[in-house]
Every structure is written in structure tokens, then in C-alpha cells.
Amino acid sequence: MQLNRPFATVTPTLDGDVLAVLAASEVTFTITQIRRILTTASGEGIRKVLTRLTAQGVVLHDQIGRTNTYRLNTEHLAAEPILALSRLNATFLERLQTHLEGWGEALKYAAVFGSAATGRMALDSDIDVLLVRACDPGHDGRQEDSAVWEQQVTELAGSITAWTGNDGRVIEYTEDELRAAAGEPLLREVARQGLTVAGTRAWLNRQLRPIGKAATARRT
């Protein structure tokens, strides 16, 4: 699926995209406003969709002077599932957060990054997740913990696929590895664009900052 096009899971048509706009806020929209948000749809296409949805009663149409306005009919029987569909991205992130809460203190930080975080997913995009583990199991020799961690990571990737249909691509760092790799473009991308689902972004920035500052100083 495309987390940025949640209605495409049930309909590939423009109807879904228009419903996504109407469901995102409780205001009235003109066709021009919807077109501005959707960018690639034609005004005529949007008008036809709105006419269809108005006939179904799921969209309310008003005319103020010469201006036609439209809004989601939140009292309609279909409004609840429509709103639930419009929130699939938020639901995914909430489910991921809840899932990772069970990992305890071994997990210092997690974030979704890549196309799932920037709203540019294709149908077959991987969903990238960065995990930062509290310690390196190779250093302290806690092999049992390491086995549990690996099992959790495998299950996480499987859960992401089950929830979305997309492959979950998990990138793991220990805290030490994270600090050593602070200048890597991937970690910079996570710090800027990642959607935090465990720990805090402030913590991540602190881990990456000292080496980033040193690199800047070296350049100048």
C-alpha cells in the first residue's frame, strides 16, 4: 500500500483522493481548493466525483452565491469508516509505537524514515525503520538478550508486512555504532525527516551532534 494514499487500498479512483481531502478537516472546500491540494487531478474530474458522492449522501453540497462548496457528511453511516481510512497512516504509526513499547529499555530509539516518512511511497516501496539498541550484545556477552532482540526484529518486519503489504526494512544500530556513524547521510536523513516511534528525536540529535559539529569545524 501507499501510506500517503490510504483510500487506494479500497479504490484506485479519484473518489478516494477527494474523500481523503474532505476527511482531513471539518471545513467546506471548493473544487478549486481540492484541486490545489490534489495537484494532479482536473477540476472536471473532481466535480464529477463530488456529484457522485453528493448523490450517495456522503458529501454535503452548498451553494453560496455562485460558489459551490462541499464537505464530508460526518453524520453519514459511511463517515466513520471513511475517517478511519483517512487515518491509516496515523494508525500505522500508533500501532508501531504500541508494538515497540513492549521492547523495554533495550530499545533506545526508533523512527520510520524514507518514502513512508516523506509521503512519496510507491505501491511496492519498502517501509524503512531505524532501530537503536541500548548496548552492543557482542561487548557484554548477553547472548540470550541478543536472541530475543533478533526475534523481535524479525517479528517487527513480519508485522509491518502483515499490516501494510509492504516489506519492512529494518536498519539496526547500537548506541556506540550510532555515535561512530553520526556523519552518515542515512542518519542525517532520519534526524531530519524521520517519524519518531520510540524514544525522542532530541536524544537522537544529541547522539549525532558532537561529530556533526566536528565535521563542520573541519570543513571551515
Partner 1 sequence: MAGTRECNSVVIAGRLSKAIEFFDAAEHLEDDMPNAAGDLFVDAGIAASDVICCVRLGVHSSSGTHSGAVSLLETADKGSETHLNTLLGLKNKAAYTHQALSNTERKKMNRAASHLVEAAKRAVASAGQ
**Residues at the contact surface with partner 1, assessed by CB under 8 A:** 3-6, 20, 24-27, 33-34, 36-37, 39, 89-90, 93, 112, 116-120, 191-193, 195-196, 201-202, 205, 209
Q: Concatenated DSSP letters for 81-94? A: HHHHHHTHHHHHHH
Nearest distance from C-beta of residue 214 to partner 1, angstroms: 14
Burial of 36 (0-12, 13-18, 19+ CB in 10 A): exposed
Closer residue to partner 1, CB minimum distance, 30 or 146: 30
Locus of grid cell 555515535:
179
β-partners of residue 196 are 111
Closer residue to partner 1, CB minimum distance, 106 or 203: 203
What are 51's three cell numbers? 456529484
Nearest distance from C-beta of residue 40 to partner 1, angstroms: 10
Closer residue to partner 1, CB minimum distance, 53 or 112: 112
Closer residue to partner 1, CB minimum distance, 55 or 209: 209
Q: Determine contact, residues 61/54, Cβ cutoff 8 Å.
A: yes
Nearest distance from C-beta of residue 36 to partner 1, angstroms: 4
Q: Which residues of 119-130 are buried (b: 16+ CB within 10 A; e: fewer)?
A: eebeeebbbbbb
Nearest distance from C-beta of residue 177 to partner 1, angstroms: 22
